[in-house]
Amino acid sequence: MEKSAFSALLVDAVSKPGVISAAYSAFHNYSIGNQLHAFWQCELREIPLGPIATFMSWKEKGRHVKKGEKAITLCMPVTCKSERKNEQTGETEEYAFNRFVFRPNWFVLSQTEGADYAAEVKSPTWDAAAALAALAIEQVEFSHTDGNCQGYAVEKRIAINPVAEYPHKTRFHELAHIVLGHTAEHAMTDSERTPRDIREVEAESVAYILTSLLELPGQEESRGYIQHWLAGQEIPERSAQKIFNAADKILKAGAANV
């Protein structure tokens, strides 16, 4: 997988309306990043969208992979072990950590045959109160004197302008600032802080993903906002990974069926 894999997926998703919701409909059991990764592989290889599972999972469902079919590649965690010196005892200790790697272990329903299989169709639902509680974030009264301000985030609190044009999108944007760690950066040195243009691109990209998944208005404006702050630059790979992770976290915090 190319180094810029997640960045490229994000750019495609933002520039092509309908991709995110289509990917979720087909691959809702997986992370948003993997949903998009599977979607584009199917598109490139002209594989009909449908449920995906490993070779053994399909076998357990009474189906088998057709001869000659090439697996779909997804990102998955792999547990690794290493050693480090304990500064207090001076002894060398073994510890485990996760690395994320791309592995070709999955096949789409159309790549298999056998027993009948009914695909489960889901549409995401999201509850703001549940998400705020799960994320330990408080929504407070809007008190900004600038009426053009749509909302803001401070530490673990967000506020939404009562007359915000797209309150749901603004809420996602402000939640993203907190989940992405932007509001905790005030205690860091300037060199450790995320530049404002990147902060805005990251937060609005999360908002775009979530409004797209939930089929809410404001997506066109969101795309314009992202392009404004990018100013012709590329989304950094690290930022793209953070965006997908934050969107997953916010979605799951308020969704009963994800």
For 239, the 3-state DSSP assignment is helix
The DSSP secondary structure of 223-234, one letter per residue, reads: HHHHHHHHTTPP
State residue 67's pLDDT score: 95
| pLDDT tens, residue by residue, 38-93 | 999 999 999 999 999 999 999 999 999 999 999 999 988 777 787 777 777 777 88
pTM for the complete prediction? Answer: 0.83
User: In 3D, which of 198, 218, 194 has the Cα closest to residue 208?
Assistant: 218
Residue 158 in tokens: 């967000």
Whole-number pLDDT of residue 2: 43
Within 8 A by CB and 6+ apart from 95, the residues are: 81, 82, 83, 84
What is the C-alpha separation between 178 and 156, in angstroms, rounded?
6
Q: What is the C-alpha separation between 11 and 17, in angstroms, rounded?
A: 11
131: alpha, beta or left? (left if phi > 0; alpha if psi -120 to 50): alpha
- Mean pLDDT is lowest, of 22-36, 71-85, 127-141, for 71-85
pLDDT of residue 257: 55
Confidence of residue 3 (pLDDT cuts 50, 70, 90): very low
pLDDT digits (tens, 9 = 90+) for 203-237: 999 999 999 999 999 999 999 999 999 988 888 89
Q: What pLDDT does 53 receive?
A: 94
